[in-house]
Amino acid sequence: MLDKIKALTFIVILFLAACGEKEDIVPGVRLDLRSVVDAPVLANKDLTLSKAMINKEWTHRNGSQSHFIKHPSLSNEPSEIWSKKIGVGNKRRQRLAADPIIAENRIFTLDSNFGVSAFDENGEKVWAADLTSSKSPKDKISGGGLAYSKGNLAVSTGAGEVVLLDAATGIVRWRHDVQGSISAPPTYASGII
């Protein structure tokens, strides 16, 4: 008998929940947001681009401290020049999150175990630095990134540290705990990280 009362109560509650004010439907034409839109206004316009420029440095993620590259020049037939392992890649709990950057004719990389490396233009490793600390146990945290300015390489880590390295030698100049994890790369401009 008790089960029948519970079932009946549930059905009554269900019906009452369905009884509500009618939803106001906004009047107007509905357009599919994913449909292809013809743009006759742009069809006859010429595309103009700024002059293509060779980027000698790529000091931050997306190119520069403003994260804006105007019109990069690229070979008509791009080809791989060299390929090297930069350190530890993706693992189950760690992801290779940092984009490489280029400065001083070197390519700087950050692997998923907080290993920073510098390679010359021929792909030879110039130096490597292990930025793990007691706060950044291996196999548990990933994230961070790189930025360059005036001979210094700023590194953010998923363990919540910002580390400044000498870009020529890889020697740690200082490190700072920001009291939280960092998943994004730093921006380094006018001596401020």
What confidence tens digit (pLDDT) does each residue in 105-118 have?
999 999 888 899 99
Whole-number pLDDT of residue 148: 93
Sign of CA dihedral 73, 78, 83, 89: positive
What confidence tens digit (pLDDT) does each residue in 30-80 have?
877 777 666 566 667 787 888 888 888 888 777 777 777 778 888 888 899
Sign of CA dihedral 184, 155, 58, 120: negative
Whole-number pLDDT of residue 38: 61
Burial 153-189 (b: 16+ CB within 10 A, else e): bbbbbbbbbbbbbebeebeeeeeeeeeebbeebbbbe
For the residues 114-133, what does the mean pLDDT come to? Answer: 92
For every residue of 137-171, DSSP letters joined together read -TTT---EEEEEETTEEEEEETTSEEEEEETTT--
- Give yes or no for a contact between 116 and 155, defined as CB atoms under 8 angstroms apart: yes
**In a 3-state reduction of DSSP, which class is residue 41?**
helix
Q: 96-193 maps to which CATH number? A: 2.40.128.630
- Evaluate if residue 155 carries a pLDDT over 90: yes
Helix, strand, coil % (nearest 5) of the chain? 10, 25, 65
Report the candidate in 165, 132, 131 with the shortest Cα–Cα distance to residue 148.
165
The domain ranges of the chain are 96-193
What confidence tens digit (pLDDT) does each residue in 2-43 have?
788 887 787 777 777 767 677 778 888 887 777 766 656 666
Whole-number pLDDT of residue 54: 82
Percent of the chain with pLDDT over 90: 28
